[in-house]
Structure 1
Amino acid sequence: MSETVTIRSEALTARIALTGAELVSLHDASGAEWMTDGDPAVWAGHAPILFPIVGELAGGSYRLDGSEYALPRHGFARRREFELVEHTGNSAVLRLGDDAGTRAVWPFSFVLDLRYVLQGDALTMTAIVTNRGQDAMPFSIGFHPGFAWPLPNGGDKAKHRIIFSDFEEGPIRRLDEDGLLRAFEDTPVKNRVLRPYPGLFHADALIWDRLSSRSLRFEGETVQPEAGSDKKEAAAPAALQIAFPDCPMLGIWQKPDADFLCLEPWAGIADPEGFDGNLREKPGMMELAAGDSRRFDVTITIFPAEAGE
């Protein structure tokens, strides 16, 4: 188990691992856990940070300026040790810089900072990428948080739903057996609502590379008052909102029948089928000029279940 750092607000407690700067726990004031348990028999992750690529490379490698380099799916940041550079009661900043190991597979000088801040019932994760080199640096970044499904006190797992902030009428993408993007298919979102079920993920993740929404609400079962009870209104369901103003793409994934669901804001994407591996032409890559930085915010807001009136 990696060393962790703990931060708190009056409503939430979060633990972040130094390995990967990964959020591994998010408890509410009652002690209920909102993240996946990271069972290694199912999926050992909790909320890995994807950098400097998102997804799979064609053939596991990329070409850049006449050389070829290998990178695993989602890059190397999730396996690296970050340095804790700042820690207060409700915040922490963890940092990864380039070294001989990273430069062997990613020939750029960079700093990746992950800032976690708890304020009330919200956790904000901020990734800041800085190019310390002399040349423009292409990169992608993504967030991969896995949440408990069903949510704490969320009722029937089959009655959970995801509500998109905007209408998502366009098609989605899937992955082939090599983890590469394949052709479009019809969206399962109806009137901004996606009702997840295990069979939806037998073909791996749902992927939006043309996303309108910049926030989602994941909520549990709405329980109506029983006939004859004194309660007049339905109880507010357990829910969380994830807002990602800087990420134009999204993946939703689980291992079929597992008790978690990943809601993954991305600024980058896997190679499409047939891509030739030239990094500077890879779909979803951004470019950062020498000395520049770019910031990506994701905020998770927790809404524990409430009793009806």
Structure 2
Amino acid sequence: MDPDLIRIASDRLTATVSPLGAEMQSLRTAGGADLLWHGDPAWWSGRAPILFPIVGKAPGDRIAVGDHEADMRQHGFARRSRFELDAQGADSCRHVLRDSAETRALYPFAFELAVSHALAGDRLSVSVEIANRDPKPMPFGFGFHPAFAWPLPGAGGAPHEIRLDNGAEPPMARLQDGLLPPDREPSPFAAGRLVLAPEQFDADAMIFPEGAGDGLRYGVPGGPELAFSFENLPNLALWTIPGAPYLCVEPWHGMAAATGASPQIAKRPFSLSLAPGDTARFAWHVTAHL
């Protein structure tokens, strides 16, 4: 195991977290079954990146804050930044990213981004606190991007589903050249239920800007399932590369820039503005039912 990886464990689960991006690298049952995607670069090298200070693409890969403009790749810089280990216990750890000359050249704010991973029984919690240490309001978007095994361990060839806790049928958006168009497509959900198939991702991610709610289940009804809950994360995306053995369940507070929009972060859909000295919190939790 990479000596920089932090290992945490409960009686039911183990996880490892890298200081690069504060990204979880594994989530396993006590029996050794992998729940998290293992990051095979033949498909996609990510596993559970943290998205900050933008979610998705910017027009021409350029962002702006007032008169400040800079290049910024999709999903921001946090996932490619090295975090410091701030705290570690047997079942939890906390990593922190603080602004630097490098980040301020891109994003002109003093900030602190803390990512905590914690295990309790068969439940994982991942929480983030973003603090504005700057004297001016700080616009940003934030999101989680974890990828899970598809099929789940023990599920065999059984069809997998997403079932929304709220039973809704939220309208869907499809990106155009990486940006968010104004139009919505009919929901693929029926009474909160979506039976997954690889061809649903031929047109890239399924994005639900509103209405997906604060919880869902992924897996096989009556069989292996993961039960999710979300805090302060009103947007949802589901993504994979067609045929790849993973599914990303992505709760966000922020979206790709709208088509035809300016590069201003503050103008992006669902962007937040954090007052000087304030802190915003986001979290997701997953319980394994295997």
Q: Please, what TM-score do these two structures have when normalized by structure 2?
A: 0.97
Query: For residue 136 of structure 1, what is the aligned residue in structure 2?
Result: 137
Instruction: Answer yes or no: is 1:181 the counterpart of 2:167.
Output: no
The answer to whether the 8 Å contact 1:3/1:19 transfers is: no
Could you list the per-position Cα deviations for residues 284-309 of structure 1 after superposition, in whole angstroms to 9, with x for gaps in the alignment? 110111011111111011111xxxxx
Q: In the alignment, residue 144 of structure 2 is paired with which amino acid?
A: F
Q: Deviations over 1:59-102 (max 9, x none)?
A: 11122222321110000000000000100000000000000100
Cα distance in 2 for residues equivalent to 1:170 and 1:116: 30
- After superposition, what is the alpha-carbon deviation per residue over 1:32-73, rounded to whole angstroms, capped at 9, x for unaligned? 000112001110000000001100001111222223211100
Gapped regions of structure 2 (runs ≥ 5): none
Report the equivalent of 2:241: 255
Q: Which residue pairs with 2:193 in the alignment?
A: 193
Distance verdict in 2 for CA 1:2–1:188, change over 3 Å: farther
User: Aligned partners of 1:59, 1:2: CA distance in 2, in Å?
Assistant: 38
Native 8 Å contact 2:160 2:219 kept in 1: yes
1:113 match: secondary structure = strand
1:47-126 equivalence runs, <5 A: 47-126=48-127
- Provide the residue aligned with 1:242 in structure 2: 228
Percent identity over paired residues: 40
Please say if 1:3 is aligned against 2:4: yes
- Name the CA distance, whole Å, in 2 between partners of 1:2 and 1:206: 37
Residues 55, 255 of structure 2: 8 Å contact kept: yes
**Deviations 1:135-159 (Å, cap 9, x if unpaired)?**
11011110001000000001215x1
Q: Distance in 1 between matches of 2:202 and 2:62?
A: 26
Task: Give 1:284-299 correspondences, 5 Å limit.
Answer: 284-299=270-285
Instruction: Tell me the CA shift for residue 280 of structure 1.
Output: 2.1
Post-superposition Cα deviations, 1:93-137, rounded to whole Å, max 9, x if no partner, equal: 000000010000000000000011101100100100000110110
Q: Distance in 2 between matches of 1:280 and 1:263?
A: 25
Q: Return the alpha-carbon distance in structure 2 between the equivalents of residues 149 and 165 of structure 1.
A: 20
- In the alignment, the residues of structure 2 paired with residue 268 and residue 84 of structure 1 have an alpha-carbon distance, to the nearest angstrom, of 26
Aligned to 2:14: 13
After superposition, the C-alpha distances for 1:199-219 in whole angstroms (9 at most, x for unaligned) are 000100000111241111012
Deviation at 1:2, TM superposition (A): 8.2
Deviation by residue 1:194-253 (Cα, 9 ceiling, x = unmatched): 111110001000001112411110122x5xxxxxxxxxxxxx401101110210000000
Task: Please state whether the residue corresponding to 1:174 is helix, strand or coil.
Answer: coil
Conserved in 2, the CA contact under 8 Å of 1:2 and 1:17?
no
Larger Rg belongs to: 1
Normalised by the length of structure 1, the TM-score is 0.91
Pairwise mapping of residues 157-236 of structure 1 onto structure 2 (< 5 A)? 157=158, 159-176=159-176, 178-182=177-181, 183-220=183-220, 236=222
User: Residue 27 of structure 1: SS of its match in structure 2?
Assistant: strand
Amino acid at match of 1:65: G
